[in-house]
Amino acid sequence: MKRILIIEDDTDINNMTAEFLREKGCIAEQAFSGTEGRLLWQMKEFDLLLLDLMLPGLPGGELLRQIRAASRIPVIVLTAKNSLDDKVELLGGGADDYLTKPFELEELWVRILVQLRHRGNAGGEKELTFKDWTIDPQARILTAGGKAVDLTAHELGIVELLMRHPKKVFTRQEIYEAVWQQDAFIEDKTINVHVSNIRAKLRSAGAGDYISTVWGIGFKLTE
């Protein structure tokens, strides 16, 4: 599951982008100033940054210079500037790509996938496997028994979480917090329904179902 940091002071753009990325199965963290963005980048591991230039606190251009001095993490700049000179300056200053505001979220997603693919080809995250299950981290597809299984972002998030920790028993609340990125209380049936849907899709694909119910606790993978 890819972790992306959005550093954007426009609340509407930031929230809209974060919600879109979560629907795509990513972990989206949000910062609304350059100072906050730098703190989060220093404290946590991210796969990609979305960076606005006109930020309160620490300007985006200065933050980009600081990031590039320490890391090769992909950075896509979100900018209102659209002249050729501005674009050349951005790329020369360390940005991997840029997108001019206003932008379409689907175009942003394509650009994100390109950068993540480049990073993967450079030695980044490899395929995740468990028995005859495989998740392609770039394409966000589960292959089970050699067949692609059409899962929603949340369903894929649940499978990926279990595959990353095959010996751990996850409570329903832990699954919800990790996949939905929220800590609000939920009814058990929310996770139960998603797991039931995953099992049904695996059966339809003729694939093995390795998700075990641990009664009174939650779910884990069958070793």
pLDDT, position 109: 93
CA 212 to each of CA 31, 146, 156: distance values in angstroms, whole numbers, following the listed order: 38, 21, 16
pLDDT, position 157: 87
Domains of the chain: 3-121 (3.40.50.2300), 128-221 (1.10.10.10)
Name the pTM for this structure.
Answer: 0.57
pLDDT, position 131: 92
Which parts of the chain fold into alpha helices (H)? Answer: 11-23, 34-43, 60-70, 84-92, 105-121, 153-164, 172-180, 188-204
Q: What angle do CA 79, 28, 194 make, to 5 degrees?
A: 140
pLDDT, position 10: 95
pLDDT in tens, 150-195: 888 788 889 989 998 888 999 998 888 888 766 666 667 889 999 9
**3-class SS of residue 213:** strand
43's CB contacts (< 8 A; 6+ apart) are none
* pLDDT > 60? residue 122: no
- Average pLDDT of the chain? 86
198: confidence class by pLDDT, cuts 50, 70, 90: very high
